[in-house]
Amino acid sequence: MIRPLGAGPPGSPPPQVPVDFSIIMGEKLPNSLYYLMLNGIISHKLPQALAKGEWTDKSQPLVDTMEFRDMLLNLQDYRETALGLIARHLHMGFQTKRILCKAFWDPHPIRQGLSANDANLPADARMISPKIQQSLRWNITKEALDAEMRRQGVSKVDFKFCLMWHAHEFETDGPLMRGVNQEGYPFASPDVNSLAALVHFMVLEHLQLIDQQDAGMTVLGNVLKETPSHLQESCLVAMEMMKFGVLTGEPFDAAQQDKPFPEQVQYPKTADPRTKALHLLSRVMSLVPMKLKNDMWNADVDFDLAAFHSLVRILKRALRQLVEASLASILLKDLNRARLLPAGFMCASPKKEDHLQTPAVLPTFMLPRACMGIVVRHFLDYRGESANFAREIQTRFPCCNQPIEDLRSAFAFWEDLRRCVDDIADKLGAEELAEEMKNASEILHAQQQKLGIFAA
């Protein structure tokens, strides 16, 4: 029999709850957190982890690689930060919660284990806890934000707007920077743009693009602020991939040595410089979305790009959870602010008039496809007459609405990312990647000259 967890009718005794209820369903969370879930403001993953003490990664990627498994482990810091942003508004039991991480490759004792019985878990069981940390005390007022939007001549709050605002205020010791290092929670005026700006600043802070110690801009934030708005999210993801050491042209390794990749895909175990350059070019430019007819992809699938996008997928999920946690952290202080959010405030569907823009007011980190990388690889391998390329590519990829224009956008993204990497190479030890990108650019430029297609 199913009984409600709440109180019964007036005068009646409380309904009996099975003794193992919290083990199966997890601890009861505050009503405010259920409210945010029911209204689609936060997905179930973070609250579920806090309630049950489990974080489960059940889904096996399309291509299981050593890099995928390593990255899933390395994302634990972002997960702990996201959990901490929510848990800091809950009681101490949630703030100190030990959460058992389970993945599809873990042995049976871990996959069936319980965090409450961690003494009986194997020594290699992975436990995480919410990271409760002092963060910057942003104070976003509608008046200041409106003035800055007029100064920049923009109508939308995004990462570039916030980075440019921060740079201007930090240099002039403007109001945005006053009191930012004091204790207390961040604040925004009851206005949707102010709320969006606060979420963007919190995400930039927790991704270390703004320093938590002195509130100054880091090296990564400084280069990202020069990236065009429509390429900001793709560039941010690429730099995150660089931070985790997976933005390279090296072939991926099978997750299990006794289970190599299928021979039919003819995937190299080692690669010559040209192959590594082709990998790097197609992987990087696959981060840029394409405009498709009817949102369908009915052309080639590339094994290397499928492996790469398995990594991109779990990274973007972690980044989206960080956005959700930042928003929830603000709203848990004042639930009335949830009414400020418009319908589709995190809608990731591209706009019809511009497929590089979405209606969302917050970063969406939309889960990507590898289409652009596949088209780029075809461009790089093309050996036919240049006069026939435009017609041939439309025949080869009939699902693409504007392949030549999208190639130009992808080339522009490559050039901008190379600018970023060159700028930070000496400061952050990215010299090897900078050299890889330089070699790859020579191959790209030679093909561009041959086919007469250049960056937009």
pLDDT at 5: 56
> Is pLDDT at 6 greater than 90 in this prediction?
no
> Is pLDDT at 447 greater than 60 in this prediction?
yes
Helix (H) or strand (E) holding 101: strand 99-103
CA distance 312 to 241: 8
List the end-to-end C-alpha distance of the chain, in Å, as a whole number: 64
CA distance 252 to 271: 10
Distances from the Cα of 99 to the Cα of 67, 110, 115, angstroms: 23, 12, 6
Query: Of the ranges 30-34, 144-148, 358-362, which one carries the lowest mean pLDDT score?
Result: 358-362
Hey, what amino acid is at 312? V
> Is pLDDT at 221 greater than 80 in this prediction?
yes
Both tokens of residue 213? 């110690």
Both tokens of residue 382? 């093309």
pLDDT at 1: 40
Give domain limits for the chain: 139-226
**Mean pLDDT (whole number) for 307-322:** 96
Helices 142-152, 159-172: axis angle to 10 degrees equals 100
pLDDT at 96: 95
Q: What is the pLDDT of residues 382-413, one digit of tens each?
A: 999 999 999 999 999 988 999 999 999 999 99
Q: How many other CB atoms sit within 10 Å of the CB of residue 107?
A: 11
Hey, what amino acid is at 34? Y
Q: What is the pLDDT of residues 94-134, one digit of tens each?
A: 999 999 999 999 999 898 887 767 777 888 899 999 999 98
Non-local CB neighbours of 444 within 8 Å, separated by 6+ positions: 281, 380, 411, 414
> Is pLDDT at 27 greater than 60 in this prediction?
yes
40: left (phi over 0), alpha (psi -120 to 50) or beta: left
CA 55, 59, 60 angle in degrees (round to 5)? 125
Strand spans (E) along 189-247 = none
Mean predicted lDDT score pLDDT of the chain = 92
**Mean pLDDT (whole number) for 438-456:** 97
Spatial contact of 303 and 254, defined as CB atoms under 8 Å apart: no
**Residue 74 dihedral angles phi and psi, to the nearest 5°:** -70, -15
> Is pLDDT at 444 greater than 80 in this prediction?
yes
